[in-house]
């Protein structure tokens, strides 16, 4: 399997524990930078005060606590969710190109939300469920289309199915746009994937589902490693592959659906991060899953720093930043598939 072809030599000098510690350290630094950098740059002292001795009367501390900290929490959570979903998808389908965005799962969740908004159904509480429904239907449809014909769900076939379904979903969203230009403006930025002005109420609603999805992912991690040896070997080791795939699907749907409700579809985190992580820790998903969470959180937070600062005082949609960085990596991965 090509997902494994990354040189594992880099694993040696640091070891998995050392690598994990380093990843957490990097995450902490990026998180602090996220709080400190922006339209107004804040001193480390202000940051610390805002975190440990919050005084709402201080405007800079207020910025940290009321604007940047919520945004940071969203970036960390959504980044972790998307990366873990990508790791599960790549592990279960044995497909290095599988990811929530490539296979259309994120867009499926987004389409459900868009359509519901235009039809005027659903509030903050039901939004995640609509997104779950969209993610679930899209996952199943893409997998079925990708499995048609000889050879089953081969990586490129599955990817093409994802592209085709995404195109269909994109046209649904465009149709909604044409029918209701005004209402669409509110959603336009969200559809590009953004962390600007997110609704903390929506985030609070989505959080339990994200936690549940992550918990399931951690619980099935060991079995995914075994499934990576092929269906027959896994069965011989006592893995119940059918049940495992369903659990993985449930986890992916929870993670992607909840993430999309909060920030809109953010691409490439789920594709790229698991590859980065596997290059360091190998194919043992007991390590890949938690470290994908840490690295995904760090990468999305870093992308959000770029989104906020590169055109300051203007802001880019964070999803655009991840796409700019992630698209070349995707091309490189496809090239490796073709060879």
Partner 1 sequence: MTLTCDQAAEGSAAVGRSGTDDRAGPAPDRAPRLQAEALDAGYGDARVLAGLELAVPDGRFTALLGPNGCGKSTLLRTLARLAGPQSGSVLLDGRAIHRLPTREVARRLGLLPQAPVTPEGMRVRELVAQGRFPHQSLLRQWSSKDEAAVAEALAITRMEALAERPLGTLSGGQRQRCWIAMTLAQRTPLILLDEPTTFLDLRYQLEILALMARLTHELGRTVVAVLHDLNQAAAHADHMVLLRDGGVHAEGAPEAVFTAENIEAVFGVTCNVLRDPATGHLLCAPAAVARAEGARA
Residues that bind partner 1 (CB under 8 A): 1, 3-9, 219, 222-223, 225-226, 228-230, 232-233, 235-240, 278, 282-284
Q: Cβ 45 to partner 1, closest distance in Å?
A: 44
**φ, ψ (nearest 5 deg) of residue 43:** -80, 155
Select 4 or 156, whichever has its Cβ closest to partner 1: 4
Q: To which residue do tokens 């709402």 refer?
A: 56
Is 147 within 8 Å of 153 (Cβ atoms)? yes
Q: Give least dist CB 122 to partner 1, A.
A: 36
Closest CA to 153 of 109, 106, 89, 88: 89
Cα separation, 244 vs 237, in Å, equals: 13
Task: In whole angstroms, give the CA distance from residue 202 to residue 78.
Answer: 13
Please report, to the nearest 10 degrees, the dihedral formed by the alpha carbons of residues 265, 266, 268, 274 taken in order.
Answer: -100
Is the Cβ of residue 65 or residue 222 nearer to partner 1 in the bound state? 222
CB of 217 to partner 1, least distance (A): 14
Question: Would you list the DSSP string of 114-143?
Answer: HHHHHHT---TTTHHHHHHHHHHHHHHHHH
**Comparison of 65 and 235: residue with beta carbon closer to partner 1:** 235
Query: Which of 177, 235 has the CB closer to partner 1?
Result: 235
Name the residue nearer to partner 1 (CB basis): 219 or 332: 219
Q: Is 97 helix (H, G, I), strand (E, B) or coil?
A: coil
Task: Please confirm whether the linkage preceding 242 is cis (ω < 30° from 0).
Answer: no
Q: Which residue, 45 or 151, is less far from partner 1 as judged by CB?
A: 151
């Amino acid at each position: 399997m090509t997902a494994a072809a990354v040189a594992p030599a880099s694993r040696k000098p640091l070891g998995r524990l050392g690598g994990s510690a380093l990843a957490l350290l990097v995450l902490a630094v990026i998180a602090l930078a996220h709080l400190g950098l922006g339209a107004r740059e804040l001193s480390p002292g202000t940051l610390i005060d805002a975190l440990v001795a919050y005084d709402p009367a201080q405007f800079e501390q207020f910025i940290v606590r009321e604007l940047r900290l919520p945004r940071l929490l969203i970036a960390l959570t959504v980044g972790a969710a998307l990366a873990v979903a990508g790791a599960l998808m790549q592990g279960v389908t044995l497909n290095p190109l599988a990811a929530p965005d490539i296979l259309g799962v994120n867009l499926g969740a987004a389409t459900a939300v868009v359509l519901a908004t235009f039809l005027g159904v659903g509030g903050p509480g039901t939004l995640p469920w609509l997104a779950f429904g969209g993610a679930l239907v899209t996952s199943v449809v893409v997998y079925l289309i990708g499995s048609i014909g000889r050879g089953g769900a081969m990586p490129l076939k599955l990817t093409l199915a994802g592209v085709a379904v995404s195109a269909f979903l994109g046209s649904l969203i465009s149709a909604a746009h044409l029918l209701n230009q005004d209402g669409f403006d509110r959603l336009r930025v969200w559809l590009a994937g953004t962390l600007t002005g997110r609704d903390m109420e929506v985030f609070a609603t989505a959080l339990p589902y994200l936690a549940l999805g992550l918990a399931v992912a951690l619980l099935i991690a060991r079995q995914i490693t075994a499934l990576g040896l092929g269906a027959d070997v896994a069965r011989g080791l006592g893995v119940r592959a059918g049940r495992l795939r369903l659990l993985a699907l449930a986890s992916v749907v929870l993670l992607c659906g909840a993430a999309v409700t909060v920030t809109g579809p953010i691409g490439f985190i789920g594709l790229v991060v698991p590859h980065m992580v596997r290059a360091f820790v190998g194919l043992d998903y007991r390590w890949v899953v938690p470290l994908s969470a840490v690295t995904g959180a760090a990468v999305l937070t870093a992308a959000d720093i770029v989104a906020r600062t590169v055109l300051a005082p203007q802001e880019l949609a964070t999803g655009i930043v991840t796409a700019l960085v992630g698209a070349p990596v995707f091309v490189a991965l496809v090239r490796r598939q073709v060879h």
